[in-house]
Amino acid sequence: MTTHRERIQAAIKGEIVDRPPVALWRHFPVDDQSPELLASAHLNYQQNYDFDLMKVTPASSFCLRVWGVEDEWVGDTEGTRRYTKRIIHAPDDWEALPVLEPTSPHLAGQLECLRLIRANLSPDTPLLQTIFSPLAQAKNLAGNDLLLEHLRYHLGAVMKGLKTIADTTRLFIEAARATGIDGIFYAVQHAQKQFLSYEEYRVFGLIFDRETIEPAQDCGAICCTCTDSRSILSW
C-alpha cells in the first residue's frame, strides 16, 4: 500500500498516484499555549483524518514572546490570537532586539512539541514546522502600519532588527531539524503589492528570506505561502 511519504514524492515527480495527496491544518487555541497539549491536539487530528503530511501550527507568538509581546485568544473562529502588547514603538527599538537562542523558553517549548509529535507520529508521515518570515514576525512585534512606516523612513534601524530576527530564526530551524522534522512551512505575509512593491520586497524581505531558510535547503520539503493562499511545495 502506498504510504503518505511515497504518495507525496510520486506526485511531485509527476508520477501516477493512487489518489492526490491531501493535507489540511488548523489552529488549536488554548492548546497552543502548552507544548504537550499542542502535540496531543495535532496527533489526535492526524489520527482522526490520516492526512498525507502534518503541518504543525503553533500560535504566531511562539517565536516572539521572549522579546516581550503578549497576546490572547478572544474567540476568533480561525483560532488565531490577538496581540495585546507590542514591543516596537520607536525606530531605536529595532536595534535593541537581542538574538534569541533555541533554548529560550518559548522556542524550547516548541522544540519539545516537535519531539513529542515525531516520537508518536508514523515515520511515513512527513512533519513540517511552521516558520514565520522575518517580516511576518516584525509585523507582530510592531503592528503592520508602524512596520511599513519604519521601513520607509527608518530603514537602517529596521534592517538591523530584521537581521536579528533572521539570525534567531535560523538558529531555531537548525534546532528543529534535530527533532526529526522533514521540512518547514515558511509563512510569507508581505509579498503583496498592497503592502510592498516588488523592489521593496526584494530589499526588505527576500534577502532575509534566503538567509532564514538556508538551514532547511537540504530538508525534504519547504512549503512557502503568502496570505493570498498561493503556495509552492518543493521536495
- pLDDT, tens digit (0-9, with 9 covering 90-100), for 61-117: 999 999 999 999 999 999 999 999 999 999 999 999 999 999 999 999 999 999 999
pLDDT above 70 for 231: no
- pLDDT, tens digit (0-9, with 9 covering 90-100), for 139-194: 999 999 999 999 999 999 999 999 999 999 999 999 999 999 999 999 999 988 89
Place of cell 502535540: 39
Which letter does DSSP use for residue 84 in this model?
A: E
> Which grid cell sits at 67?
522579546
Q: Which residues contact 59 (CB under 8 A, 6 or more apart)?
A: 27, 29, 32, 33, 71, 80, 81
pTM for this prediction: 0.92
CATH number of this structure's domain 4-234, picked from the four choices 3.40.50.720, 3.40.50.300, 1.20.1530.20, 3.20.20.210:
3.20.20.210
Q: Which residues contact 31 (CB under 8 A, 6 or more apart)?
A: 37, 38, 40, 41
Place of cell 527608518: 154
Domain ranges of the chain: 4-234
